[in-house]
Chain A
Amino acid sequence: MKIGVVTFPGTLDDRDAKRAVRLAGAEPVSLWHADKDLHKVDAVILPGGFSFGDYLRCGAIAAQAPVMETIIDAAYGGLPVLGICNGFQILVEANLLPGGLIRNEHQHFICRDQKLIVENVDTAWTNQFTLGQEITIPLKNGEGGYIAKEETLKELEGEGLIAFRYSEVNPNGSFNNIAGLRNAKGNVVGLMPHPEHAVEPGFGPDTDKAMRSGVDGLNFFSSVINWMVKA
């Protein structure tokens, strides 16, 4: 099982995403923004960071990169794609997911261990969770406030396209506490928090049991492996 991790100029969490793929038991493959070839990967991760400096709008320039042309086509064809933070912003800019992400309501960058509720488990990236499960995933962003038109929100709610919601604290003013979305097919998922930072005991968020022992993020990566095996 090969999972591609795209590096754009300014991408930061690509090495972390590759580590997460490895820990979940798949083989990470580096993909370069200027190379359209997906090198026969079975799934793609758009990792976090500040692609192209996040100048213009977050993710806007990256969404136009050569590699994205292929990824967008493949995503319509069912290729599992996970967008994390900046990757989520890129998916939105690429119109693979609806809405927009704006400056956090409190105007500051925020890094915190964030509780989320899993709202949908019928996707390539969430099928190993249970519906309604509360998980803790690190969140770190300056522009994570999710916005959408009223009718889009209605559709997202009505069609069950919300993948994750913030629990306890809404850290950035996102509408409807939305932390992550899925597309109708369930192959594309995007979220602001960083599952790749909660995959290895000792380096994840704190839990009641021990410091930095949280590994709730691993299920994202085992989900896609499971999805591919079944497919």
Chain B
Amino acid sequence: MSIAVDTTKEAENTPDKAQPWNELGLKQEEYDRIKEILDRRPTSAELAMYSVMWSEHCSYKSSKIYLRQFGEKVTPEMTKNLMVGMGENAGVVDIGEGWAVTFKVESHNHPSYIEPFQGAATGVGGIVRDILTMGARPIAVMDQLRFGAVDHPDTARVVNGVVSGISFYGNCLGLPNIGGETVFDKVYQGNPLVNALSVGALRHEDLKLAKASNPGDLVILFGARTGADGIGGVSVLASETFDSEGPSRRPAVQVGDPFAEKVLIECALELYAAQVVAGIQDLGGAGLSCATSELASNGNAGMRVQLKNVLLRDESLTPEEILMSESQERMMAIVPQKDLQAFTDIVTKHEVEFSVMGEVISEPRLYILWGDEEIVNVPPRTVAHDGPVYERPVAYPSWIDALNANSAATLPRANSAEELKKQISAIVSSPNQASKSWITDQYDHYVGGNTALAMPDDSGMVRVSEESGLGVAIATDANGKYCQLDPYQGTQLALAESYRNVAASGASPMAVTNCLNFGSPENPEVMWQFKQSTAGLADGCLELGIPVTGGNVSFYNQTGDVAIYPTPVVGVLGVIDDVARRIPSGWQDEGNNIYLLGITRDELDGSAWAETIHDHLGGKPPLVSLKNEKALAELMLGANLQGLIASAHDLSEGGLAQAIIESSLRFGVGARIWLNEIMERDNVDLTAALFSESTGRMLISVGREDDVKFVGLCEARNIPVLRIGVTDSTKELIIQDVASYTMDELTRTHEGTIPELFG
């Protein structure tokens, strides 16, 4: 079969031919710029490449001017451990002993609404390949999920599909799933968020970069064959808002094969070990268009490749489709000619298919041939890196002052113990505060044998070095409600919580990644939220002294004109010298004293209490003091080094009530808690003592023998500390003057909700 191809010669001869730039998502001025760059009209293959690479998803054209501050608001101290910063597939951090780790979160929101199972599965696959591309062995995954209201008829479809997709793909890859978040809110009804995080470990010398710089090196595509899946997925799917009529582009979602990816991982790691790869890039969004142009652009070189050499699943694909295909489980390697045999031996051993597509050239030009015809002839930098950059209009939201004025402080509060107990039970059994074990039990958290902590502990922790016990902890957080009330502060609250979670598990916070989920950047109010959120994160990281190593932006998360709450997922990575010193989140032993660190203020705006009891969202989010968070983290490090801490759990959504119940349920240990001293010292009532979401607080249990030392340490560092209870052997949780629960009752209350809804 012969396909009529649009060649560069043809483009020169027919300068006025009409082209579907608009349908491909390009703006008139963008199309004009392509013509200016090429000094002719683009061929259809070039148009496909530019359209996909200049899409919001790939080019970050609306966010770039704000993301720069993550690289600018830094000190030399912050970046001294950063081996690779933003802009590469994932940031790389030196964690000592010759080890480095790389981690990143990415969104797969739109595909996961259309086809929840495959959308979520390939989301895991994509982020894992990003980590692999840095030369690292992926060692764990986490996921951050937002679904619609639990009682909406469509929610179960999305929840079951997404969870099964993550379970199917992640488990089959052999990567422990060590944590994540699940939140339900009607704002995510037509636009769920599926973010996936992966972390990998490598020796310093094994670092790989996505660049092709040595002329003569071979350009090799290996892994799965190229098919018709996901064609245009990036530019069309990721950049278009779902209209109310629902999805109509079903085939645009990629299909994942985790077995092929597992084989690809082992094959790539063996290729790295044999040192036959000079540069490597995974094929994800924008497929070959992205891999070829980025490798060449990063290496300040060019490439000449034969597109007919691509191994296809479907022989009828046009050159444009081959360039845009998002078939999964593929990678592109740059291999010196002398190493071709060694390369061939290794991929053949793994029964992985490959084809040599062409070679690297010194001229900074990307030539793509289709047989004898030249169909692409472009400067790779203009495709990969010099795309359009927009400073979109921003506008202070017209509705935000009214929202901020509507505080939860004046909502009616419980005035009897009976009513308080009802409220506690309602909150800890509400879908957002209930145990998510029905979800996390579908993920393998054991594989690898290095998992030191996983859900429901405050952070996930994995051992990196079996010799020394060196490991990393990761926690992620995003509170969309807080960000709706105040995106600057809300984002800092997410940073503060992740940071606190990492500190609570005994690790020292070291680096930050993010996945910024927002509405349409063409809406000036959304753009204002984005501007505030990124400023909050950059300022916050500067104050905490930990750098942003990379991240991802997902715009156009809305249904019709209604945007989701701004949902900037912030992930913090910490390092621990020996994972044997990790701290569990729950009480383990009887007779330990329970301490509350930090001050409780009457802060109920945006809280789980306001949502569950009053269906209310308004006011201002809790104050955040990063100085206090830092002091708290330093105290934890000091106390943990001396072995003084039996357990630690941060206080966040649901306040003290939630933290007490989770601490008790973790190992089924009861306790007696009293609140009167908090109320007296902090001048708050029972409702605030139980449900306030004031930041900078942790619940710590300490063995009696370490009491004096621990309290002394807190006092020396000016951390407010108050003994509020003691663990016991009764299998009962008693909150004095408020409520008592048997362990069975607590278990039913906290763990029954999600299986009942979705099981």
Contacts and interface: CB of A to CB of B under 8 A. Distances in A.
A140 B446 contact: yes
Contact of B449 (A50, A109, A197, A211): A197
A111 B448 contact: no
A9 interface: yes
A48 B171 CA distance: 11
Contacts of B443: 109, 111
Nearest to B445: A111
Interface stretch (B257-265, B271-279, B537-545): B257-265
A194 interface: yes
A111 B441 contact: yes
Given A110-B442, A210-B588, A52 B259 contact: yes
B447 A16 contact: yes
B171 A9 contact: no
Nearest to B163: A108
Contacts of B262: 9-10, 12, 50
Contacts of B449: 15-16, 19, 196-197, 199-200, 203
B350 A9 contact: yes
A111 B164 CA distance: 13
B7 to A, nearest CB: 40
Secondary structure call for the A interface: loop
A9 B442 contact: no
A59 interface: no
B174 A138 contact: no
Nearest to A106: B759
B172 interface: yes
Given A10-B263, A19-B449, A211 B444 contact: no
B167 interface: yes
B210 interface: no
B591 to A, nearest CB: 15
B52 to A, nearest CB: 30
B259 A53 contact: yes
A197 B258 CA distance: 22
Interface in B720-759: 759
B451 interface: yes
Contacts of A15: 448-449
Contacts of B441: 110-112
B140 to A, nearest CB: 13
A55 B466 CA distance: 33
B658 to A, nearest CB: 20
A43 to B, nearest CB: 20
B547 interface: no
Contacts of A194: 446
Contacts of A52: 259
A211 B446 contact: no
Contacts of B65: none
B667 interface: yes
Contact of B448 (A16, A109, A206): A16
Most B C-beta atoms less than 10 A away, residue of A48, A50, A55, A112 = A50
Contact of A203 (B168, B172, B258, B452): B452
A140 B667 CA distance: 21
Contact of B447 (A13, A53, A108, A109): A13
Most A C-beta atoms less than 10 A away, residue of B164, B445, B447 = B447
A111 B350 contact: no
Contacts of A108: 164, 167, 442
Contacts of A12: 172-174, 262, 447
Nearest to A198: B446
Interface string A20-38: 0000000000000000000
B154 interface: no
Interface in B430-451: 441-451
Contact of A138 (B171, B257, B259, B446): B446
B445 A212 contact: no
Interface in B243-272: 257-260, 262-263
Contacts of B463: 203
B579 A109 contact: no
Contacts of A210: 588
Contact of B579 (A10, A48, A202): A202
A169 B759 CA distance: 17
B351 interface: yes
A197 B667 contact: no
Contacts of A196: 449
Interface string B155-178: 000000000100110011110000
Interface string A42-86: 000000111011110000000000000000000000000000000
B167 A109 contact: yes
A155 B584 CA distance: 46
Contacts of A54: 172, 259
B173 to A, nearest CB: 8
A203 B262 CA distance: 23
Interface string B457-468: 000000100100
B442 A53 contact: no
A53 B172 contact: yes
A49 B446 contact: no
Contacts of A16: 447-449
B451 A140 contact: no
A138 B451 CA distance: 13
A223 to B, nearest CB: 20
Most B C-beta atoms less than 10 A away, residue of A12, A54, A138, A200 = A12
A111 B205 CA distance: 36
Given A13-B174, A110-B441, A202-B452, A197 B446 contact: yes
Nearest to A48: B447
B172 A206 contact: no
Contacts of B584: 211
Contacts of A112: 441
A198 to B, nearest CB: 9
Interface in B657-694: 667
A23 B164 CA distance: 34
A202 B580 contact: yes
A50 B172 contact: yes
A211 to B, nearest CB: 5
B200 to A, nearest CB: 15
A49 B167 contact: no
Given A9-B263, A109-B171, A203-B450, A53 B667 contact: no
B273 to A, nearest CB: 14
Interface in A172-231: 194, 196-197, 199-200, 202-203, 206, 210-212
A211 B442 CA distance: 21
Nearest to A16: B449
A50 B259 contact: yes
A204 to B, nearest CB: 9
Contacts of A55: 259
A112 B751 CA distance: 15
A203 B445 CA distance: 10
Contacts of B450: 203
B262 to A, nearest CB: 5
Contacts of B164: 108
B672 to A, nearest CB: 21
Contacts of A106: 759
A208 to B, nearest CB: 8
A170 to B, nearest CB: 15
A109 B442 contact: yes
B258 A111 contact: no
B158 to A, nearest CB: 16
A203 B451 CA distance: 6
Given A9-B350, A16-B447, 16 more contacts: A10-B259, A12-B172, A12-B173, A12-B174, A13-B447, A16-B448, A48-B447, A50-B259, A53-B172, A111-B443, A140-B171, A142-B167, A197-B449, A199-B449, A202-B580, A211-B667
14 contacts: A10-B263, A12-B262, A15-B449, A53-B258, A53-B260, A109-B442, A109-B443, A140-B446, A140-B447, A142-B171, A196-B449, A197-B446, A197-B449, A203-B451
Interface of B: 164, 167-168, 171-174, 257-260, 262-263, 350-351, 441-452, 463, 466, 579-580, 584, 588, 667, 759
